[in-house]
Amino acid sequence: MKGFKEFLLRGNVVDMAVGIVIGAAFGTVVSAFVKDLLTPFIAAIVKKPDFSAIAFTLNSSKFMIGDFINELISFLLVAAAVYFAVVMPLNKLISGSRPPAAPTTKQCPECLSEIPIKARRCAQCTSPLSD
């Protein structure tokens, strides 16, 4: 039981659990936004009174195309929000925080082989190197 407790209290597991809960809540908010605001707006543009009411029946089975479109729009909005609000800023933060790595090798002027930056003589052609 001690190992399981340590596993649960590790930072990554707790962070992941918090992220999942917040993500689910965010998904609910975006779904409500799509259902209550965006869908009626799109329906008004295409002159349909209720976007989610679009459906067809085939062999006594009702296919709710409007509900599918609502969920598709909801997914696209969640994906866009996560990308623009989380992924892009994080990528910019990560790429901007690291200075470029210092070179560890240089090129021999005689034989053009790669040699360590502190070398005084080329290992390939044994020519002396100037600093």
- What CATH number has the domain bearing residue 40? 1.10.1200.120
Structural domains counted in the chain: 2
Each residue of 26-85: pLDDT tens digit?
Answer: 888 877 887 788 777 877 887 766 667 788 899 999 998 888 887 888 788 778 877 887
Please report the pLDDT score of residue 117 as a whole number: 87
87 with 111, same domain?
no
* pTM for this model (two decimals): 0.49
Q: Mapping DSSP to helix (H, G, I), strand (E, B) and coil, where does residue 85 land?
A: helix
90 with 118, same domain?
no
Q: Cα-Cα-Cα-Cα dihedral of 109, 131, 106, 108, to 10°?
A: 20
Q: Any alpha helices (H) in 1-131, and if so which ranges?
A: 2-9, 11-33, 39-45, 65-82, 88-97
106 with 81, same domain?
no
Q: Are 74 and 34 in contact (CB under 8 A)?
A: yes
Which candidate, 93, 91, 80, places its Cα nearest to that of 26?
80
Please report the pLDDT score of residue 59 as a whole number: 92
